Amino acid sequence: METIKFLESGKLILEKWIERSQTTEENRLDIWISTANLKPAVQSLVEIRWGYLITITGLDIPPVRDQDNNELQPGQLEALYHFANDADIITIRVKVPYSKPQIDSICEIIPSATIYEREVIELFGFDLLNTPNTEKLILPDSWPEGVYPLRKSFTNLQDLVTSNKEQSND
């Protein structure tokens, strides 16, 4: 009973921004919205005190290529903002292309999101606009710029390990 109530109240408040929605489990609602609407959507959930932000999950959707290696669909990144209210989970999802991976930071609304934002910046290469802190959280300080380990294209650490060793020699 309560499950339905919570999910519906969440859906109602977010309705005007929803581009597509999906319910894969009875206690879950996934909604896709445009990046421009992310901040107002999060704001409205926080305003009605709809649960709390569990985390931000990053997903890499590598480019689709045909046999001749022509790009049919450019590579994309997807950020999933999971909000939980008791057993219910609303996931706000935004997709951005590799070429312009910009999303507004939500730290103004939820200050504790900074740690999750730093994580997706480092591991996926998102560009969080106006995020308060972009210092390295997990990766070593010597990690090369522009290498994002959780993208599918990243498979090998060998070269990085060697170059780090050379650095430490001097």
Could you tell me the two tokens for 95?
A: 């997709």
**Which of the stretches 12-20, 33-41, 108-116, 160-168 binds another protein when contact is defined by CB under 8 A?**
108-116
Which 54-83 residues touch another protein, going by CB under 8 A?
A: 54-55, 57-60, 80, 82
**Cα(135)–Cα(98) distance, integer angstroms:** 21
**Cα(157)–Cα(69) distance, integer angstroms:** 25
Among 25, 68, 145, 166, binds another protein (CB under 8 A): 25
**Share in percent of the chain as helix, strand, coil (round to 5):** 30, 30, 40
φ/ψ of 31, rounded to 5, equals: -125, 140
Beta strands 88-97 and 127-129, pairing class = unpaired
Among 79, 106, 110, 121, binds another protein (CB under 8 A): 110
**Which of the stretches 32-40, 69-77, 137-145, 158-166 binds another protein when contact is defined by CB under 8 A?**
137-145
Which 86-105 residues touch another protein, going by CB under 8 A?
A: 86-87, 89, 91
Provide the 10 A C-beta neighbour count for residue 54.
14
Residues at the contact surface with another protein, assessed by CB under 8 A: 24-25, 27-28, 30, 49, 52-55, 57-60, 80, 82, 84, 86-87, 89, 91, 110-112, 115, 135-140, 149-150, 152, 154
